[in-house]
Amino acid sequence: MIDIKLIRENSDLVKENIKKKFQDDKLPLVDEVFKLDEEARNMQAEGDNLKAEKNKLSKEIGILMKDGNKAGADEAKEKIASMSERIAEIDEKLPKLQEEIKNRMMVIPNIIDSSVPIGKDDSENVEVEKFGEPVVPSYEIPYHADIITRVGGLDKESAGRTSGEGFYYLIGNIARLHEAMIAYARDYMIDHGFTYAIPPFMIRSDVVNGVMSFAEMEAMMYKIEGEDLYLIGTSEHSMIGKFKGQMLKENELPINMTSYSPCFRKEGGAHGLEERGIYRVHQFEKQEMIVICKPDESMSWYNKMWKLTVDIFRNWDIPVRQLECCSGDLADLKVKSCDIEAWSPRQQKYFEVGSCSTLGDAQSRRLGIRVKGEDGTYYPHTLNNTVVATPRGLIALIENNYNEDGSINIPKALRPYMGGLEKIEPLK
Which CATH number do you get for residue 272? 3.30.930.10
Task: Write the pLDDT tens digit of every residue in 366-404.
Answer: 999 999 998 899 999 999 999 999 889 999 999 999 999
Determine the average pLDDT of the residues in 164-170. Answer: 92
In a domain, 185, yes or no: yes
Q: Is the pLDDT of residue 65 over 70?
A: yes
What backbone phi and psi angles, to 5 degrees, belong to 228? -85, 65
Determine the average pLDDT of the residues in 151-172. Answer: 94
- Dihedral of alpha carbons 289, 295, 299, 300, sign: negative
Q: Is the pLDDT of residue 348 over 80?
A: yes
Is there a single domain that holds both residue 59 and residue 170?
no
Mean pLDDT of the chain: 93
Is there a single domain that holds both residue 289 and residue 208?
yes
Per the structure, the count of domains in the chain is 2
Q: Is the pLDDT of residue 210 over 50?
A: yes
Is there a single domain that holds both residue 275 and residue 321?
yes
Is there a single domain that holds both residue 101 and residue 198?
no
Determine the average pLDDT of the residues in 197-211. Answer: 94
DSSP label of 415: G
pTM equals 0.89
In a domain, 90, yes or no: yes
DSSP assignment of 12-63, as one string? HHHHHHHHHTT-GGGHHHHHHHHHHHHHHHHHHHHHHHHHHHHHHHHHHHHH
Assign 358 to helix, strand or coil.
strand
In a domain, 112, yes or no: no
pLDDT value of residue 273: 58
Alpha carbons 350 and 339: distance in angstroms, whole number: 11
pLDDT value of residue 219: 78
In a domain, 113, yes or no: no
Q: Is the pLDDT of residue 269 over 70?
A: no
Determine the average pLDDT of the residues in 23-49. Answer: 95
